DNA sequence: TTGAAAGCGCTAACAC
DNA sequence: GTGTTAGCGCTTTCAA
């Protein structure tokens, strides 16, 4: 960082301001932070020097002495999934409104990447971490717990940290009930490999339970993972839908998966909803496009984000030893045109 | 941050490690960073102490002394726009691969928010900043330039910083040529209010030029902004398409806009492409869904992100006084089913 | 109302 | 090969 004339460029420090305005640096500090008591005259002189020098406090130094960074980390599975992206956007918005800057890590669902990114966040001494769609790797999680850094899990569940999530049971029930009410009996459940494992399991279990309650028997071989990068898996998936005894409906674990599945099915000549009904989960924007018109279970994204930030900051700024707080929100079914009675 | 037993919790520092392993902190520092020369024996003892204490270097202190943070800021218009989200995802990936952690700010296109978020990045002493879809507010930009912090603009243009962008001229030409070749003469241009102003202007100008070159005369009243939050604007837009002399095709400034416009048109009974042809710009994933099948001009996202990070890190780690570097990449037309000859 | 001084946890130049 | 020391730029007692 040099001037083009070769002289070293140095950002002005609090000392420069103090020198120029003829006061001590404690006074400058007081003026900058609005603390202590300084006379109107000196305050003006200091402010003048600040402006003249273009002084900007160095957070790096402040972080060190305060042992706080006003940084929060957000660990997310996949920003290409609109639900994740929209959640991150809202979290960033909330956090910045409360004076925090957001560090974002996209893990792609890889546990080892998750670990190394969290490691970096910890080194940077973030004040707290929000985990969205956390894969739930035991080692990573226990490492985090050991650090005693405030953590909030969003859209997934843990016994040891604050959590905020939609009630998966209720949501899946909503989806299955809708399908059953339409007359479907052969219903499959398709999940996203990137999805966090406890959420996946929770939704899968809720799926079975809801099926049973609806008087329909779930088949274990009809709960499968749709990984678009895995061509074998794709073939396997499609063979399911060309079998004689094939599902007439699918409850997908999220919209992203549902929409890619819709695409896959229709590329193979299987129409939605004429041949197969499809219901998603999340309520991402594009699901509402009339060309997609995905029936889905929506999550209250604004509330989810707001509550997550609130929990995190409460633990950062307030009482750190309170027992973990859990918040469940209610999902809602939005019926569009991807579901219909079976043929 | 207290233990539940009430004793103060203190993270182990380099001094604790030094004390436990019976060496000086410089030696600990050397083994942590792999610098200097330490004997195998002491290295082992130090590492043992590190493990025993769960020591993790404090980046906050390192940042202060090194005057480097290994943090880069990414300022983005709207994470709900898949193009932005995908770019951020790739940038984060590239950056973390090279040892940098990413601070993300979503500005929603508000200049004042842009300013305050950048202010926060600067206080945190980020090593560099990537601006995507920067609104280009003069004050904000010159503030940034004055800071002498490395900046790279992605998908937009400036004379004073490194830039990487697709060649808008070529892209828009591709779109217009395609439309003209199909026989369209009445072509409108619809832009996104969130889009960065110079990009918007560049694409608008390129649009006019391409029209002229195609032997078609552009009409200024057919270049308009589509702001989904503005109902009056929406009505105005639709009245354009119900006029006797109405456009038979639209070149949208990006896919996000194109897809929302497709939705709006079809909700008003105007079919795409039967009544109106539509071509987008960006090449976001969902444009490729068969239900959307948007003809569009794709940007090479991977290259864009890779090059942006490369430029930024080069300026951070290397020569700071080189003249601004410009990189233009080539866009490509992908013809799908949102375009057809005029009725 | 102001200033002096002691650190926060680390790196790096230099001495041993 | 290892230790000593002087900061990095700030906040925060505590005196004056």
Confidence (pLDDT) at B158:
81
Establish if B205 belongs to a structural domain.
Answer: yes
Confidence (pLDDT) at A5:
43
**C-alpha distance from residue A235 to each of A61, A195, A241, B154, B234 (Å):** 56, 21, 10, 39, 44
Establish if B49 belongs to a structural domain.
Answer: yes
Confidence (pLDDT) at A145:
85
Element (H, E) at B296: strand B295-298
Confidence (pLDDT) at B159:
84
> Are B132 and B237 part of one and the same domain?
no
**Mean per-residue pLDDT for B157-167?**
90
Q: pLDDT class for B7, splitting at 50, 70, 90?
A: low
**Mean per-residue pLDDT for A278-282?**
97
Q: Do B80 and A57 touch (CB under 8 A)?
A: no
Establish if A335 belongs to a structural domain.
Answer: no
Establish if B106 belongs to a structural domain.
Answer: yes
Q: pLDDT class for B44, splitting at 50, 70, 90?
A: very high
Whether A289 has its CB under 8 Å from any CB of chain B: the answer is: yes
The string of pLDDT tens digits covering residues B54-69 is 999 999 999 999 999 9
> Are A197 and A272 part of one and the same domain?
yes
Distance A234 CA to D1 C1' (A): 60
Distance A57 CA to C14 C1' (A): 32
Distance A29 CA to D10 C1' (A): 8
Total tally of structural domains belonging to chain B: 3
The string of pLDDT tens digits covering residues B185-200 is 999 999 988 777 777 8
> Are A201 and A261 part of one and the same domain?
yes
Whether B9 has its CB under 8 Å from any CB of chain A: the answer is: yes
- CATH number of the domain residue A189 falls in: 3.40.50.2300
> Are B184 and B250 part of one and the same domain?
yes
> Are A125 and A220 part of one and the same domain?
no
Q: For A234-241, which contacts have Cβ atoms below 8 Å and span 24 or more sequence positions?
A: A234/A264, A237/A190, A237/A264, A238/A264, A238/A268, A240/A188, A241/A265, A241/A268, A241/A270, A241/A276
> Are B146 and B265 part of one and the same domain?
no
Q: pLDDT class for A6, splitting at 50, 70, 90?
A: very low
The reply to whether the CB atom of residue B1 sits less than 7 A from any atom in nucleic acid chain C is: no
> Are A291 and A318 part of one and the same domain?
no
> Are B270 and B290 part of one and the same domain?
yes
- d(Cα A298, Cα A258) in Å, to the nearest integer? 13
> Are B146 and B172 part of one and the same domain?
no
Distance B65 CA to C12 C1' (A): 10
**Mean per-residue pLDDT for A264-274?**
96
Beta strands in B60-122 (DSSP E): 71-76, 101-106
DSSP class of residue B155? S
Confidence (pLDDT) at B198:
76
Residue B136 has pLDDT above 90, yes or no: no
Confidence (pLDDT) at B1:
41
pLDDT mean across residues, chain B:
92
- B120 burial class (0-12, 13-18, 19+ CB within 10 angstroms)? buried
**C-alpha distance from residue B297 to each of A294, A296, B288, B336 (Å):** 27, 31, 12, 11
Whether A10 has its CB under 8 Å from any CB of chain B: the answer is: no
Q: pLDDT class for B293, splitting at 50, 70, 90?
A: very high
Q: Which residue is nearest to nucleotide D6 (CA to C1')?
A: B65
The string of pLDDT tens digits covering residues B303-341 is 999 999 999 999 999 877 789 999 999 999 999 999 999
Q: How far is B131 from chain A (nearest CA, A)?
A: 16
> Are B52 and B148 part of one and the same domain?
no
> Which pair of structure tokens corresponds to residue A27?
């006074």
How does DSSP assign B204-269, residue by residue? HHHHHHHHHHTT----GGGEEE--TT-HHHHHHHHHHHHSSS--SEEEESSHHHHHHHHHHHHHTT
Cβ count near B110 (within 10 Å): 14
> Are A191 and A251 part of one and the same domain?
yes
Establish if A342 belongs to a structural domain.
Answer: no
The reply to whether the CB atom of residue B35 sits less than 7 A from any atom in nucleic acid chain D is: no
Q: pLDDT class for B2, splitting at 50, 70, 90?
A: very low
Mutate to test the interface with B, among A66, A72, A101 (most CBs of B within 10 A): A101
Confidence (pLDDT) at B140:
81
Q: pLDDT class for A159, splitting at 50, 70, 90?
A: confident
Confidence (pLDDT) at B4:
37
**C-alpha distance from residue B276 to each of B205, B215, B279 (Å):** 22, 20, 10
Establish if A31 belongs to a structural domain.
Answer: yes
The string of pLDDT tens digits covering residues A203-242 is 888 899 999 999 999 898 899 889 888 888 889 889 999 8
Domain residue limits at B39: 14-57
- d(Cα A304, Cα B79) in Å, to the nearest integer? 17
The model carries a pTM of: 0.93
Residue B292 has pLDDT above 50, yes or no: yes
Establish if A324 belongs to a structural domain.
Answer: yes
Q: Nearest chain A Cα to B60, which residue?
A: A64
Establish if A333 belongs to a structural domain.
Answer: no
A263 interaction partners in chain B (CB closer than 8 Å): 289-291
The string of pLDDT tens digits covering residues B230-261 is 888 889 889 999 888 999 999 999 999 999 99
| B148: Cβ contacts below 8 Å, ≥ 6 apart | A1, A9, B320
Q: pLDDT class for A8, splitting at 50, 70, 90?
A: low
Confidence (pLDDT) at B315:
94
Residue B170 has pLDDT above 80, yes or no: yes
The string of pLDDT tens digits covering residues B198-238 is 778 888 888 999 999 999 998 988 998 898 888 888 898 89
> Are A161 and A276 part of one and the same domain?
no
Q: pLDDT class for B5, splitting at 50, 70, 90?
A: very low
Confidence (pLDDT) at A155:
86
Give just the sign of the alpha carbon dihedral A53, A59, A62, A64. Answer: negative
> Which pair of structure tokens corresponds to residue A80?
């290409």
Q: Do A64 and B61 touch (CB under 8 A)?
A: yes
**Mean per-residue pLDDT for B156-180?**
92
Confidence (pLDDT) at A4:
38
Q: Among residues 132-161 of chain B, which lie with CB inside 8 Å of chain A?
A: 146, 148
Q: Nearest chain A Cα to B95, which residue?
A: A105
């Amino acid at each position: 960082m040099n001037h083009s004339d070769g002289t070293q460029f140095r950002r002005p420090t609090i000392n420069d301001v103090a020198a120029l305005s003829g006061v001590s640096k404690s006074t400058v500090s007081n003026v900058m932070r609005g603390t202590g008591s300084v006379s109107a005259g000196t305050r003006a002189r200091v402010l003048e020097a600040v402006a003249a020098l273009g002084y900007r406090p160095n957070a790096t130094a402040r972080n060190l002495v305060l042992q706080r960074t006003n940084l929060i980390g957000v660990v997310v599975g996949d920003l290409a999934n609109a639900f994740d992206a929209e959640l991150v956007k809202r979290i960033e918005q909330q956090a910045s409104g409360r004076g925090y800057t957001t560090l974002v890590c996209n893990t792609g669902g890889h546990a080892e990447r998750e670990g190394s990114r969290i490691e970096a966040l910890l080194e940077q001494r973030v004040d707290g971490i929000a985990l969205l769609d956390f894969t739930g790797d035991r080692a990573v999680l226990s490492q985090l717990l050991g650090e005693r850094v405030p953590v909030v899990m969003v859209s997934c569940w843990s016994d040891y940290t604050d959590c905020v999530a939609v009630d998966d049971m209720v949501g899946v029930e909503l989806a299955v009930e809708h399908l059953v009410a339409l007359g479907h009996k052969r219903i499959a459940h398709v999940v996203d490999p990137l999805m966090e494992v406890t959420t996946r399991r929770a939704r899968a279990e809720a799926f079975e339970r809801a099926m049973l309650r609806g008087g329909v028997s779930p088949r274990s071989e009809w709960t499968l993972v749709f990984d678009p990068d895995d061509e074998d898996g794709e073939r396997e998936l499609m063979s399911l839908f060309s079998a004689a005894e094939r599902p007439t409906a699918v409850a997908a674990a999220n919209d992203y998966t549902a929409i890619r599945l819709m695409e896959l099915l229709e590329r193979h000549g299987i129409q939605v909803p004429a041949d197969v009904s499809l219901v998603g989960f999340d309520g991402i924007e594009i699901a509402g496009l009339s060309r997609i018109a995905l029936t889905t279970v929506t999550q209250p994204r604004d509330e989810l984000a707001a509550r997550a930030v609130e929990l995190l900051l409460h633990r950062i700024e307030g009482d750190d030893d309170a027992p973990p707080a859990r918040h469940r929100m209610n999902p809602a079914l939005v019926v569009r045109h991807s579901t219909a009675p079976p043929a």
